[in-house]
Amino acid sequence: MELEIKEKQENKLLNRLEVKGTLTFEGATPSNEQIRDSLASTLNKDKELIIMKHIYSKFSYQEAEFLAFVYDNQEARDKTEIITKHLKKKAEEETKKKAEEAEATAEAAPKEEEKVEEPVKEEPKVEEKPEAPEETPAAPTEETKENKE
């Protein structure tokens, strides 16, 4: 696969370089990943900062035109690019796999340090004097009323 960059336009507002070019290939049209890898090596950038927008192949020719955005940093890319459903799902699956691997390694590795609990310091108890229940005058009941009469 041969990659030729025809136009570079710097977009300072979005912190990216917009690259247009052609590529010549044999067999099937190269995937986005393959073009990203070759662009990354050509431009000396990280392939995670390159977003492929379009690949236009010509009918019955072994060449195609492409449009790619090369961002200056990860933060600029995240602000500008929209995360689609399938990319969100892919990211969630990756985080689940990493969590499962971390749990598996934690369970497999013997615990090197056992947690030593420090004795709990008891606070000195202050003795409270129980309060004597106050006697309230009892309400006259029916029996006491009858006895008085």
Domains, in order of start, for the chain:
2-92 (3.30.70.330)
Rg of the chain, C-alpha, whole Å: 38
Residue of 57 and 147 predicted with greater confidence: 57
Mean pLDDT of 46-68: 93
Mean pLDDT in residue range 12-34: 94
Asked whether the beta carbons of 51 and 71 are under 8 A apart, the reply is yes
Model pTM?
0.59
Across the chain, mean pLDDT equals 83
Q: Which stretch, 99-103, 116-120, 133-137, 143-147, has highest mean pLDDT?
A: 99-103
pLDDT at 128: 62
Is the pLDDT at 115 greater than 60? The verdict is no
Contact 1, 30 (CB under 8 A): yes
The 8-class DSSP code of residue 102 comes to H
Model confidence at 140, pLDDT cuts 50, 70, 90, reads low
Give the span between the Cα atoms of 14 and 138, in whole angstroms. 86
Question: Collapsing DSSP states into helix, strand and coil, what is residue 72?
Answer: coil
Mean pLDDT, rounded, for 50-57 = 94
The DSSP bridge pattern shows strands 2-11 and 50-57 to be unpaired
